[in-house]
A and B are shown apart, each in its own frame.
Chain A
Amino acid sequence: MRGSSRVLATPSKYLALAVYLVFLAFPLLWLISTAFKSPQEMALIEPTIIPEHPTLDNFRLAFEQQPLARALLNTLIIAGVSALVTVLLSIPAAYVMARYRSVVSRMTALWVLLSQMFPFILVIIPLFLLLRDAGLYDTQIGLIIVYVVWSMPFALWMLRSYVVGIPVELEEAAAMDGAGKLRTLKDIVAPLLVPGVVAAALFAFVSAWNEFLFALVLLRTPELQTISLTLVKFIGAEGVARLGPLAAAALVATIPSLVFFAIIQRRLVGGMLGGAVKS
């Protein structure tokens, strides 16, 4: 009985897996395919999935038609600085969250959760007004501040769990030797936190790199814009001839976050589950 049902079950499982693979992979393949196709091949009635005459023209055109290089550089700076500042501010705070049973720790934990639930419109109008009054509207610094603050909850959450994993005895030994809190944090805790810090920094980088709404509201000058904004401008007039460069630009914009994401993937999954699955 069990044997026969298994014989039937396996092919149907593979069929289901195949359906998933197609659903997940097809849009990606199509994006890649479009990026490498000539306009002539794009205009065919029966589209080809694997380009017959692959070309890099679209990439060249993408960089020529739009300030793509500038946008990539802008995004690199904004995401890089945001990531750096996020972890620098988060390390000590995460330490406090892990080691002190204080109102602040509990409030922060609550805030991590609550900040995920509010519609961004409530935050973004006052942020816009605040930055405008401070003369930081339409500046990269303004956007960096916003990114730091909004990737901090998750960074804190991740780093906190790393601190909890460090034996408190190590610090007690250091304290016995007369080291103060700051020294202990710098000399004992921080070196052990390196993997967590890397993960948190890459996470902050990827979220800033991918972000769209804040950038849309807080930046206006074309020379300052991030890659997401530039890509959206690309969409406008969508003659078939422009689809190739659009796909090429979209592909280029994905590579950094894809690479970084691949590095932190395991840790991110672990960090998320730290909150989701109580064991």
Chain B
Amino acid sequence: MSDTAVAAKPRPTQRKPQQRRTWLGLDRDGLMLAVPALIPVVLFSLYPLLRGIYLGFTDAQAGRAATTEFTGFENYSQLLGDSYFWESFRIGLIWAFGVTILQFFASLGLALLLNQKLRLRWLARTLALVPWAMPPVVIGIMWRLVYHPNAGILNSVLRDLGIIDSNVEWLSSLSLALPAVIVVGVWSGMPQTTVVLLAGLQSVSEELKEAAAVDGAGPLQRFRNVTWPALRPIVTAMTTLDFIWNFNSFSLVYVLTEGGPGGSTRLPMLFAYEEAFRYGNYGYAAALGNAMVLVIGVFVVFYLRRRYREEG
């Protein structure tokens, strides 16, 4: 019994005395094993990230002749006066909140259903995972076909149901494009959320639920008093991460609308991409990235505080 406990939880510090710490807690062998992975990570992700943050404080531009100079906060004062910037952040927040919240409720409902013994459960389970495996570009193309004004299935179904009289241009309407892409965002993000919630539900103690049922608690009360408290830490972590990913998202909306019509779906990443690779304003685009980090940072702090409070 004690053997298996040790096996499951190795304690490296209690090991042989010959393992002297040399560099950052690694001996020579450890260093040799870690270095092949460390070098590319430092070179191609840590260094670019730091340089990217720095670029946000420069006037870096495309073109070999252009010299880069440190300009302090100039980019940011320019950002503050840029109505496109405010607009893209407004859209980004609507998108990120919209997708995260809708996705959460849709996934919670599905996870609750999948957690019960229903027929066709396997089918829903399989289908719910498919979007996870699909390239975002394919998801975008697929929904373009669904939303297609003339040949799309959505307009045809809505016409048959008598909800609309004439075909709706979902993705090229100023008012409908953003809601339409949010639906796609929900569809493509549901697998991960559902899987996490389902695992959370399965970790809720059956005895507690049964005890509550014996005490006369209805399904709703059982959910509120037994299931939800057990689920809440997972939910906070998951929705925070979902929000961050959604706020940073690019590919799906790029394929669906390219930020149009009239910039009505231009998420911050699409705006930054255009600035950098269409107009060559590297410094300005990086400054946009730094501003995005600021927004994300607020949510991380919010999450950490909340978690701290929940843990007492």
CB pair A272 B195 closer than 8 Å: yes
Q: Is the CB of A118 within 8 A of B293?
A: yes
CA distance A206 to B132 in the complex (A): 10
Most buried by B among A122, A164, A265: A122
> Residues of B contacting A120 with CB < 8 Å?
248, 250, 269
Please, what's the 1-or-0 string for A166-186, where 1 marks a CB less than 8 Å from any CB in chain B?
Answer: 011100100100001110010
Tell me, in angstroms, the Cα distance from A246 to B218 when the chains sit together: 51
- A125-B37 contact given A20-B110, A24-B127, CB 8 Å threshold: no
Q: Say yes or no: A20-B124 contact (C-beta < 8 A), given A102-B25, A125-B55.
A: yes
Give min CB distance, B228 to chain A, whole Å: 16
B30 in complex: contacting residue of A21, A46, A100, A108, CB < 8 Å: A100
In contact, B141 and A118 (Cβ under 8 angstroms): no
A21 to B145 alpha-carbon distance, docked (Å)? 19
**Closest chain B CB from A252 CB (angstroms):** 10
B214-256 near A? 1/0 per residue, CB < 8 Å: 0000110000000000000010011001001101101100110
In angstroms, how far is the closest chain A Cβ from the Cβ of B211? 15
| Contact among A9, A20, A122, A262 with B293 in the assembled complex (CB-CB below 8 Å) | A122
Interface centre among B29, B118, B150, B269 (most CB of A within 10 A): B29
- Show the binding face of A for B, using Cβ within 8 Å: 2, 5, 9, 13-14, 16-17, 20-21, 23-28, 30-31, 34, 42-43, 46-47, 49, 89-90, 92-93, 95-96, 98-105, 108, 111, 115-127, 129-130, 145-146, 148-150, 152, 156, 164-165, 167-169, 172, 175, 180-182, 185, 206, 209-213, 217, 227-228, 231-232, 234-235, 238, 240, 243, 246-247, 250-251, 253-254, 257-258, 260-262, 265, 269, 272-273, 276-277, 279
Binding site for A on B (CB under 8 A): 3, 6-8, 10, 12-13, 15-16, 21, 24-26, 29-30, 32-34, 36-38, 40-41, 44-49, 51-53, 55-56, 60, 109-110, 113, 116, 118-121, 123-124, 127-138, 141-146, 148, 150-153, 156, 187, 190, 192, 195-196, 199-200, 203, 213, 218-219, 234, 237-238, 241, 244-245, 247-248, 250-251, 254-255, 268-269, 272-273, 276-277, 282, 285-286, 288-290, 292-293, 296, 300
